[in-house]
Chains A and B, each alone.
Chain A
Amino acid sequence: MSEFANIPWNLILPILVLQLILMAVALTDLIRRKQTNGPFIMWIFIILLGNLIGSIIYFIFGRRHE
C-alpha cells in the first residue's frame, strides 16, 4: 500500500476532473434529449459506471440520429 501512496495524485487529478466534465456533458445531453436509442435508465448507468468509454459510447450510439 505504501507504493500506492507514492503515486502523485496531482498528476492524475486532471484526468479525473476531465472524466467528470465529460460525464456531466453526457448526462446533460441525455436529460435534455427526448429520444434515445434504447432506454433512458440504461444510458444513465452506462454513463455513470462506464467511465470514459461509457460516455464516449453514449455520445456515439446513444443519441438518436436527428
Chain B
Amino acid sequence: MTQLLLVNNLTKVYGNHKVADSISFELEQGTITALIGPNGAGKTTTLSMLAGLVTPSDGSILFQNQPKADIRASIGFLPQYPKFFPWLTALEFTEMAARLSGIEAKKALEDAKKTLEFVGLGNAMKKRTGTFSGGMKQRLGLAQAIVHKPKLLLLDEPVSALDPVGRRQVMNLLKELQQETTILYSTHILNDAEEMTDQLLFLRKGALVENGSLDSVREKYANPRILIEFESDEEVDRFITMSPWAFSREKRLLVIDAEKEKVRISDALTLLTTENFLIRKLELQTASLEEIFMKVVMEE
C-alpha cells in the first residue's frame, strides 16, 4: 500500500492552550480511518489543519510526499454543520464547488448533477439550499466534498447530527465512496467507527493516545472476563469454596478476570461439569467498544 498522508508532530496552540499536541500518524491510500475522541479532544482542529483552514503552530503535513504543496485541490472537506449560501440552489452550489476546485465549467455541471443524484438529492437539485432540512444539508455537504473526486476526504462528525435513518443512508454512501478514495472522519460514537474502519486514532485532550486497527485495539483492551450465572445462591456458595480463582460476585453472578487469573473458559467449564454445578450461563466477555472508548480517551 502507498502512503497518502504523513502527519508529523502536528500542534496547534491557542494562547497557552494546546488544542492539538504533537499528533503524528499516517494514512494509507484507499483506507478509512476514524478519529475518535470526546467533544473538545481536538478532532475539529486537527481536521481543520489538514483541510488548510487553520495554520499549524508546529509540525508538518506531507501529502503524497510533497511538502508545502497547496493540498486543497486534492481534499474534500465536510464540516460538522456545513453552511451554504441560502440563495444558491444545490446544483449551483455544487457546480461552484467543482469549478473552484479546478474543474472546467461544462464538466463541473455534469459532475455536480451526477454527484447530487448519488447522494440522493436528484429531486432537490434546483431548490435553494435555504429551504433544506438538516439531513439534506448533510447530503449536500457530502456532495460538495466529493464532487471533484478528491484523493482525501475529511469528514467532521458526518453522521452524529442525523436521525437513525439518515445515519444509515450516509454510512452506506461512505462505504461506497471507500472504494474510490481515502477517508478520514471524526466521531465520538464508537459504534459508528466499528462499522467501517481500517484504522482508529484516539484523541484525548489534543494528544493522540492510541493508534491501530480495530482488531489490534480490541485485542489490546479486550480485558476478557468469564461470567458464570448459577441457578441458586447455594450453588454460588458451593462454588466459592472450591474456586481457585479470584472473582467478584453480584447475587448469582460471578465474574472472573480471565487475564489476571490466567484462566480459560474451558478450565471453568471443566470445573463446573466435573462438580455438577447447576448454572444458567457461562460466557467469555470482552470489552465493548464503549468500554474501550471510556478507557482510552476518558481515563485520568
Chain A positions within 8 Å of B, measured between CB atoms, are 34, 66
> Which 5 A-B pairs rank lowest in CB-CB distance, beginning with the nearest?
A66-B86, A66-B85, A66-B87, A66-B130, A34-B130
Chain B positions within 8 Å of A, measured between CB atoms, are 85-87, 130
Nearest residue, chain B, Cβ from A33: B130
Q: What's the least CB distance linking B202 to chain A, in Å?
A: 38
Q: What's the least CB distance linking A52 to chain B, in Å?
A: 25
Q: What's the least CB distance linking A31 to chain B, in Å?
A: 14
Q: What's the least CB distance linking A29 to chain B, in Å?
A: 11
Q: What's the least CB distance linking B128 to chain A, in Å?
A: 10
Q: What's the least CB distance linking B92 to chain A, in Å?
A: 15
Contacts of A34 in B (CB 8 A): 130
A34 to B87, CA, bound (A): 13
Q: What's the least CB distance linking A33 to chain B, in Å?
A: 9
A34 to B128, CA, bound (A): 13
Nearest residue, chain A, Cβ from B131: A34
Contacts of B87 in A (CB 8 A): 66
A12 to B217, CA, bound (A): 81
A34 to B131, CA, bound (A): 9
Q: What's the least CB distance linking B93 to chain A, in Å?
A: 14
Q: What's the least CB distance linking B239 to chain A, in Å?
A: 67
Contacts of B85 in A (CB 8 A): 66
A34 to B86, CA, bound (A): 12
5 residue pairs of the A-B complex, CB under 8 angstroms, read A34-B130, A66-B85, A66-B86, A66-B87, A66-B130
Contacts of A66 in B (CB 8 A): 85-87, 130
A66 to B128, CA, bound (A): 13
Q: What's the least CB distance linking B127 to chain A, in Å?
A: 14
Nearest residue, chain A, Cβ from B85: A66
A34 to B130, CA, bound (A): 10
